A and B are shown apart, each in its own frame.
Chain A
Amino acid sequence: MAEEIDIIDQVTQSDYKYGFVTNVESDNAKVGLSEDTVRFISAKKNEPEWMLEWRLKAYKAWLQMTEPTWPNVHYPKIDYQKIIYYAAPKPKKVLNSLDEVDPEILETFKKLGIPMEEQKILAGVAVDVVMDSVSVKTTYKEKLKELGIIFCSMSDAIKDYPELVQKYIGSVVPVRDNYFAALNSAVFSDGSFCYIPKGTRCPMELSTYFRINEANTGQFERTLLIADEGSYVSYLEGCTAPMRDENQLHAAVVELVAMDNAEIKYSTVQNWYPGNKEGKGGIYNFVTKRGICQGINSKISWTQVETGSAITWKYPSVVLKGENSIGEFYSVAVTNNYQQADTGTKMIHIGKNTRSRIVSKGISAGKSQNSYRGLVKVNPNAENAYNFSQCDSLLIGDRCGAHTFPYLEVSNKSAKVEHEATTSKIGEDILFYCNQRGLSTETAVQLIINGYCKEVFQHLPMEFAAEAQKLLAVSLEGSVG
């Protein structure tokens, strides 16, 4: 057994490969949060009055709220007065090509293995890069514009499409929804905005790379995505962050709206700095993601691969309001060393004949704790609602934990709700068996993990799936013996 633990340590303790810092001058807000901070942020961004009012309302709501304690995670109390709420790279003149982007920023992207140029040409991916809260560069905007698709930073959207923003912001995740959502609403720095017009199929995967890059800077993105009647969009979100000693708070809000016959596919690969082997540092990722299937036959599908962050608190959810609407959640959550994750989904069935599917794969290694928390709620009017949930846990070694908290609230007799759960362990005996067939321990683990996550990976866009596999291998490197 001692042997097994040694090997597990070796495998789980590979260093975070994306830990580096870019020296870009920042234009920061003062440390701490007050009404002045909110005003400062809004002013910095030249926002209209209504936006400031909205932020202030959120700030006041936040003051009356308390931080949730129900998640199965533990961390030292956050001092919200010690956080810098706004940091932006020095504004430059409007950029027309990549040559005009700060070479150091480009260097960072290279280290991350994001070949922006190639991505544009080869993959046909429009990348809206968020670097420390401000969009540095938006690509492919023109091409999308021809189709009437809006894909821009939230700041631009507030200026250029105020009526759309005003109508939908906070419509899915209200200001008072939860503590972190309220905080985000007050101080959100930037994010992405996307609108797909009626009957339009977005011809490319829309993609955003987030990156937290300022010591002590909370990152508060706000993403709003609206798919109008009969439209389709696939949206990718992927992130890495540099190595840090101090914990960094990240509280994003993502809102999705799907109208009649619209479909949104939202995929995330999240790889923020998880802290070091002793559990020091790492990102606190407290995210509120929710979509509403507003119209009939609409569909929202969340796919996430979560490998990073010291603490993850995240429940991408779907409100199934439109008749015959469909909500899906496919998740792989990996925790290693001292990482903690409390993640899952909520499927709220309101409309008739609504269907939802949950496939959650938790992988725990090292001394980490991984919890699935899911709610399936069927309202009285949701005739013939159907949910299928599959929650699997995989343990690597014997010092980690996996927990499952499924909640079912069914108020309609015609509803059908199915739940399946399994727990497996990659133990010494399995690894020895694989070794005896010529497979190294690393290869064996990869093989098992990839097999285990297949059902989720197949819902990711192709190039993302390959990236996700790579990421999992890196995250669990050395983790099994």
Chain B
Amino acid sequence: MLSIKDLHASINGKEILKGFGLEVKPGEVHAIMGPNGTGKSTLANILAGKQDYDVTEGTVTFQGKDLLDMAPEERAREGVFLAFQYPVEIPGVSIANFMKASLNEVRKHRDLQPLDAVEFLKVMKEKMRFVEIDEKLMRRAVNEGFSGGEKKRNEIFQMAMLEPTLSILDETDSGLDIDALRIVANGVNKLKNENNAFIVITHYQRLLDYIVPDFVHVMYNGRIVKSGGKELALELEAKGYDWIKQEVDATV
């Protein structure tokens, strides 16, 4: 589904990704862990199409297409979803209106008819229950005055609405209390099927108690330095990142 090969990327001349590679197949959940400043969020942003980065080397293929060649909105319509680490506020646009416009763009791309207001409302209410979001929030402007937890749940709600093929969760667990964490994780688990895939970026093992990954990758200094099964996450939790750093730095 997703094939990242030898990806190098920089921002303002500073190289952040230094030969990143990853293969994701349908039905898989990949966790990417690693200390601060190793390029995890950069990776998420580049996959979603943020313009600030220069990709200097490497390829990203998504379902046979060159992902880097697509505009951000095309990527989204093709089924790439990014749950933002810091979701922005969109003044004056209610979540309902926002999601209606968004969903209909995605449906159009999939050659589906747009949903009419009644159908849309039905789908929306269903998905809202799914992430336990208060219906009152739907009339509010997107993320305006939302608590940290509400913002993150709103991301998962949007993911549930758009049913993406590849979802990237960029530190969705940061700043969440245990209940919110459970809700977010439940959302992901319910959405998971054999046709879609998830890349879960996180600092802590905590989220992985709820979302069980098929693969855990440790990212350090712009690339993956260690991969393993879910037990790797537990090992990291126990030992911290220093032993990996030392291991990597010793070999350089």
Within A429-464, the residues touching B (CB, 8 Å) are 429-430, 432-441, 443, 447-448, 450-454
Beta-carbon contact of B93 and A448 below 8 Å: yes
Q: From residue B43, how far is it (CB to closest CB) to chain A in Å?
A: 15
The count of chain A contact residues (Cβ–Cβ below 8 Å) is: 25
* A97 at the B interface (CB under 8 A): no
* A69 at the B interface (CB under 8 A): no
How far apart are the CA atoms of A434 and B88 in the complex, in Å? Answer: 10
**Within the complex, which residue of A433, A438, A448 is in contact with B105, where a contact is CB–CB below 8 Å?**
A438
In the complex, which residue of chain B has the Cβ closest to the Cβ of A453? B92
Beta-carbon contact of B109 and A435 below 8 Å: no
Beta-carbon contact of A438 and B109 below 8 Å: yes
Given the contacts A438-B77, A443-B101, A451 and B93 also touching, CB distance less than 8 Å: yes
Within A87-102, the residues touching B (CB, 8 Å) are none
Given the contacts A432-B72, A438-B73, A448 and B90 also touching, CB distance less than 8 Å: yes
How far apart are the CA atoms of A429 and B82 in the complex, in Å? Answer: 13
Give per-residue flags for B88-107: 1 if the beta carbon is below 8 A from chain A beta carbons, else 0: 11111110011001100110
* A424 at the B interface (CB under 8 A): yes
* B210 at the A interface (CB under 8 A): no
**Within the complex, which residue of B71, B88, B92 is in contact with A452, where a contact is CB–CB below 8 Å?**
B92
A-B contact count (CB 8 A): 79
* B147 at the A interface (CB under 8 A): no
* B141 at the A interface (CB under 8 A): yes
Beta-carbon contact of A394 and B82 below 8 Å: no
How far apart are the CA atoms of A324 and B197 in the complex, in Å? Answer: 64
Give per-residue flags for B52-73: 1 if the beta carbon is below 8 A from chain A beta carbons, else 0: 1000000000000000000111
Residue with the highest number of chain B CB atoms closer than 10 Å, among A424, A428, A436: A436
How far apart are the CA atoms of A429 and B86 in the complex, in Å? Answer: 10
Q: From residue B116, how far is it (CB to closest CB) to chain A in Å?
A: 18
- Size class of the B contact interface (CB-based, 8 Å): 20 to 34
In the complex, which residue of chain A has the Cβ closest to the Cβ of B93? A451
**Within the complex, which residue of A437, A450, A451, A452 is in contact with B162, where a contact is CB–CB below 8 Å?**
A437
In the complex, which residue of chain B has the Cβ closest to the Cβ of A1? B52
By a CB distance below 8 angstroms, the chain B residues around A434 are 90, 98, 102
* A117 at the B interface (CB under 8 A): no
By a CB distance below 8 angstroms, the chain B residues around A438 are 73, 76-77, 102, 105-106, 109, 162
Beta-carbon contact of B88 and A433 below 8 Å: yes
Beta-carbon contact of B49 and A436 below 8 Å: yes
Q: From residue B95, how far is it (CB to closest CB) to chain A in Å?
A: 11
* A420 at the B interface (CB under 8 A): no
**Within the complex, which residue of B49, B89, B93 is in contact with A435, where a contact is CB–CB below 8 Å?**
B49
How far apart are the CA atoms of A454 and B141 in the complex, in Å? Answer: 13
Beta-carbon contact of A430 and B88 below 8 Å: yes
How far apart are the CA atoms of A432 and B48 in the complex, in Å? Answer: 9
By a CB distance below 8 angstroms, the chain A residues around B98 are 434, 437, 447
* A67 at the B interface (CB under 8 A): no
* B158 at the A interface (CB under 8 A): yes
How far apart are the CA atoms of A440 and B141 in the complex, in Å? Answer: 19
Given the contacts A432-B50, A432-B72, A447-B97, A437 and B102 also touching, CB distance less than 8 Å: yes
* B51 at the A interface (CB under 8 A): yes
* A25 at the B interface (CB under 8 A): no
How far apart are the CA atoms of A206 and B186 in the complex, in Å? Answer: 58
Write 21 A-B pairs (CB below 8 A) sorted by A numbering: A3-B52, A4-B51, A394-B91, A430-B88, A430-B89, A432-B51, A432-B72, A433-B90, A435-B73, A436-B48, A436-B72, A438-B73, A438-B105, A440-B73, A443-B105, A447-B97, A450-B92, A451-B92, A451-B94, A453-B92, A454-B92
Interface residues of B (CB under 8 A from A): 48-52, 71-73, 75-77, 81-82, 84, 87-94, 97-98, 101-102, 105-106, 109, 141, 158, 162
